[in-house]
Structure 1
Amino acid sequence: MTSLTMRSPALSELGEHTLRKVRRRIMPLIVLLYFVSYLDRNNVGFAKLTMSADIGLNAAAYGLGAGIFFLGYALLEVPSNAGMYRFGARKWLARILITWGLLAAAMALVNGETSYNILRFLLGAAEAGFFPAILFYLTLWFPAVQRVTVLGIFILAQPLSNALGAPVSGLLLQMEGLMGLHGWQWLYILEGIPAVLLGLLTPILMTDRPRDAKWLEDDEREWLASTMDAELALKSESGHHNFLAGLKDKRTLAYSALYFGLVCGIYGLGLWMPTIVAALGKFSTTEIGFIVFIPYAIAAVFVYWWSKRADKTGKRAWHTAASMILAGTGLLAAGFLLPVNPFLAMVGLIASAMGIYGAIAPFLSMPSAALTGAAAASGLALINSLGNLGGFVAPYAVGLLKDATGNNQSGLVFLSLCLAATGIATYLYARKRPEGDATLAQAAEPSDPS
């Protein structure tokens, strides 16, 4: 396959050095912020192991509340990204971090289904705009041809957060009765505090745009600013780069629908993984935490390798589709093997985690490459907003299926079908588009919204 270096001019020594410095400066903070974000939205899966009995939640009620997070998230996603575009990433991300950290800790106050649903909705509303704000932020600092690898590093925070957060959450549940609080209350409190602290530090550590980067040398800053300005100008020639244009772009709606299917798999698996693992045998919450660590740790290694491969070949649509089909196959295998062989069921869960998380970076790089400027801010926000409604549908559907059938298999089959169908649809839609296959980029109009 043709490599990116053959399709576009090679970076100069100055360019290589500058982008290496930018990666080292920006990416550790970005990954840390996303790590904490994912921890706070998914720790409810571990809290459920003991919280459900304490406050009287059945599987469907848990799934509904877990998914309600995404209703608040979706409603405020686009307005929040408009605020980020106006006020800058530093200030807006700080606002998001502090409010979601406080509400994440406030989950310790839930005492029934109503308060559980309200706080999950408010938590989603508080976190709205974070993910597309980061995606847009990366489009300001990294050329499109390098963005899959950068997104892969960013997405690593998802499986790493689940991998490292799982044993930590399992251990925090052991704090039952300390100072009169349940273990799940300590889990919410102690995992909410880091977001508040990072919100206070973000305005100090983050730089809004390349021309503001005093930590770059003058020639480095000028090279990066000029490179990104030139890329923006090239994609904006037709005028499809204002905020409203991103909302009306046909590609935005197409990628929103496809992202919905992918998100069904992401959160359907993530929010139910501790429950599924618990069904494999008789384990303590600490043991469940360490078992859940396994598929996510393996997925993290796969994500990094798969993202670099997608960048090298430019076949973003193919890598996305192959990952989703792998995920769907793994979930289907886990569903049927769950009552038969726990070890093979775990192999299926590992394959599903690899596929789900491996698909995210090449998928998100496609709308990130297709849209630019203010259109990218609005378009990526709408894609994330509509797509994340899958985070509402999937956990609730899995909970309803579990209550109706009395087992986890039906939910896993549902998620498997969602991922397989989305993988095929993504390939058919994007395989002949320049953002889906970078080898076509030179022959395509970057701003064509059709």
Structure 2
Amino acid sequence: MSITTRSPHDTLLATALRKARWRILPLICTLYFIAYLDRNNVGFAREPMSSDLGLTATAFGLGAGLFFVGYTLFEIPSNAGMHRFGARRWISRILIPWGLLAMATAFVVDDVSFAWIRFLLGIAEAGFFPAVVFYFTLWFPVRERAAVLGVFVLAQPLANMLGAPLSGALLTLDGLLGLHGWQWMYLVEGLPAVLFGLAVPFLLTDRPANARWLTAAERGALETSIASDDARITSHSILTFRAALLNRTAWAYAGLNFGMVLGIYGLAFWLPSIVGELGDFPAFERSLVVAIPYAAGACFVLWWSRRADRTGKRAAHASLSLGLAALGLLGAGYSLDVSPIIALASLSLAAIGIYTAIGPMLSMSASLFSGAAAAAGIGLVGAVGNIGGFVSPITVGWLTDLTGSSLAGLLFLAAALAVTAIAAWLFAGRRPEGDTTLARPTKESHT
């Protein structure tokens, strides 16, 4: 029987990665949990807010979606700031104003003020997600990124799963100190972003070279591994920030992200309303039912992301997940009036598909470039993708007003995810960032 032993480099690398995961991921995941809660809790407040402020479904969808207009407009400049000033200062800069604006949502008075505060919240939070994705490229080799991003995006279903009963409980505080329950929800859930914004400069480390909690040998092993993976997978024909913004491959991944984000936020913003069609639930009980699909999604995120890293077939994993999500939404649309149990099971399949797709999908675009080009490319992919966060809720809201049912909106989301699944398979599956078993050609095109 042969016994394999690790080289000293592999041992140092394993130790450095273990320390980096435990030092970085818990904090970053907590911040993303807060971010996702603050951007999506509007879905839980929809009915009481709409009743108190006189919002139609279309007006609500417009306000909810304007978050992503502000986010999109400032995402690329924000990632440039992250590259220039470092993670500690820039993420803190993002957190504090976003927390204050999230709390200020408690004091909107009509559709206009609601739209403006959501737009400003998007500007404040702009760049947080791509900044974190770029930050991970500085700390983790390509071969680790789908799994690391899987841990990170696990905060999405967890925020919805745990945020649903939390938001439901806060909505029951109606009348306390003269405030509506939805006002308490925004105030309580926005405060942690401000507090963490004050703490982040003392908790994050910008790059491995600055990490005093790693030994010199561990820093060297980690930096060598990142450089080696970049040389094999990452394109070095694109070197500048501007060149990455004009790169056709980056735009292709931006389009794929747009399709995926349509499904993510279509489900997130409208799931509470869809569950309302399954039965007449009080607010808190409804929030517990809403949590079920997110709990199902959370169960599979890490396993699927690690499998994508282990096999290298990231495009295939993303495509299969998006196809499953499309089938789930299709099943939910046609079973809403037939069986609440089948509809809830279908929504759970949709959540599993949507959330397991994120890690493999984003690991591909995060592996395109390095340095300033990576900051630009990741920002571009995120910016275009987040346009889907605007298109999705307003389209679903308009279709709901038009038809009086969630069916048309669910069919729209299912079609978008199905097209994205096929496109990801055909495009990314033939590229080294989509299939890491493929070697990047020595001579690359400058497309």
- Regarding TM over 0.5, the answer is yes
Distance in 1, Cα, partners of 2:227 & 2:196: 30
Match of 1:444 among 433, 438, 441: 441
Query: Which residue is equivalent to 1:82?
Result: 80
Q: 8 Å contact 2:237–2:445 — kept in the other structure?
A: no
Alpha-carbon distance change, 90 to 447 in structure 1, aligned in 2, over 3 angstroms: farther
Give unmatched runs, 5+ long, in structure 1: none
Shift of the 289–229 alpha-carbon distance from structure 1 to 2, 3 Å rule, reads same
1:16 aligns with one of 14, 17, 20: 14
Query: Residues 229, 312 of structure 1: CA spacing in aligned structure 2 closer, same or farther, 3 A cutoff?
Result: closer
Match of residue 54 from structure 2:
56
Cα offset for 1:431? 1.0
Which SS does the other structure have where 1:77 is aligned?
helix
Residue 265 (structure 2) pairs with residue 254 (structure 1): no
Please report the TM-score for the alignment, with normalisation by the length of structure 1. 0.95
Aligned to 2:324: 326
**Residue 365 of structure 1 aligns with which residue?**
363
CA distance in 1, matches of 2:443, 2:68: 32
Tell me the CA shift for residue 219 of structure 1: 1.3
1:271 — aligned with what? 269
**Over residues 28-49 of structure 1, what are the superposed CA-to-partner deviations in whole Å (9 max), with x where a residue is unaligned?**
0110011000000000000112
Question: 1:226 offset after TM fit, Å?
Answer: 3.3
Moved more, 233-242 or 427-436: 233-242
What displacement does 1:281 show?
0.2
Q: Structure 2 matches for 1:379-418, cutoff 5 A?
A: 379-418=377-416
Q: CA deviation at 1:153?
A: 0.5
CA contact (8 A) 1:251 1:449 kept: no
Match of 1:157 among 150, 155, 158: 155
| Residue number in structure 2 paired with 1:103 | 101
Matching of residues 201-240 of structure 1 within 5 Å: 201-232=199-230, 238-240=236-238
Deviations 1:353-398 (A, max 9, x none): 0000111000001111122111110111011001110000010000
Q: Is the 8 A contact 1:235 1:372 kept in 2?
A: no
User: What residue in structure 1 maps to residue 345 of structure 2?
Assistant: 347
Residue number among 163, 168, 171 corresponding to 1:170 in the alignment: 168
Distance 1:66 1:347 in 2: 26
Q: Which runs of 4+ in 1 moved over 2 A?
A: 225-239, 442-450
Alignment deviations for residues 277-329 of structure 1 (CA, whole Å, 9 cap, x no partner): 11110101100111111110110111111111111111111110110010000
Query: Aligned-residue CA RMSD in angstroms?
Result: 1.7
Note the C-alpha offset of 1:222: 2.2
SS across alignment from 1:385: helix
- 2:214 aligned partner, one-letter code: L
- Out of 409, 421, 425, the position equivalent to 2:423 is 425
Q: TM-score scaled by structure 2?
A: 0.96
The C-alpha deviation readout for 1:37-93, integer Å capped at 9, x for no partner, is 000000000011211000000111111111110000000001111111111111000
Q: What is the distance in 2 between the residues matched to 1:409 and 1:387?
A: 24
Q: Partners in 1 of 2:26 and 2:127 — Cα distance?
A: 20
Aligned match of 1:143 in 141, 147, 163?
A: 141
User: 2: distance between equivalents of 1:139 and 1:88?
Assistant: 13
2:97 matches 1:94: no
The count of corresponding residues between Structure 1 and Structure 2 is: 442
* Counterpart residue number, 2:36: 38
1:108, 1:188 within 8 Å by CA — same for their partners in 2? yes
**Cα shift readout 1:155-193 (whole Å, capped 9, x = no counterpart):** 101001110000000000000000000000000000000
Change (3 A) 1:51 1:447: farther
> Is the partner of 1:92 in helix, strand or coil?
helix
In the aligned structure 2, how far is the partner of 1:145 from the partner of 1:11? 16
Provide the identity percentage: 54
Going from structure 1 to structure 2, the CA distance change for 1:188 and 1:383 (only over 3 Å counts) comes to same
Maintained 8 Å contact 2:233/2:432: no
Tell me whether 36-45 or 251-260 shows the greater mean CA deviation. 251-260
Structure 2 equivalent of residue 120 of structure 1: 118
Q: Unpaired segments of 5 or more residues in structure 2?
A: none
Taking the aligned partners of 2:273 and 2:68, their CA distance within structure 1 comes to 20
**Residues 434 and 444 of structure 1 are in contact (CA less than 8 Å); yes or no, is this contact kept in structure 2?**
no
Cα deviation, residue 412, structure 1 = 0.5
Contact 2:325/2:351, CA 8 A, preserved across alignment: yes
Partner AA of 2:187 in structure 1 = I
Once the two structures are overlaid, the 10-residue window that deviates more, 59-68 or 238-247, is 238-247
For the residue of structure 2 that corresponds to 1:389, the secondary structure is: helix
Output the amino acid matched with 1:245. A
Cα 1:366–1:447 shift into 2, 3 Å? farther
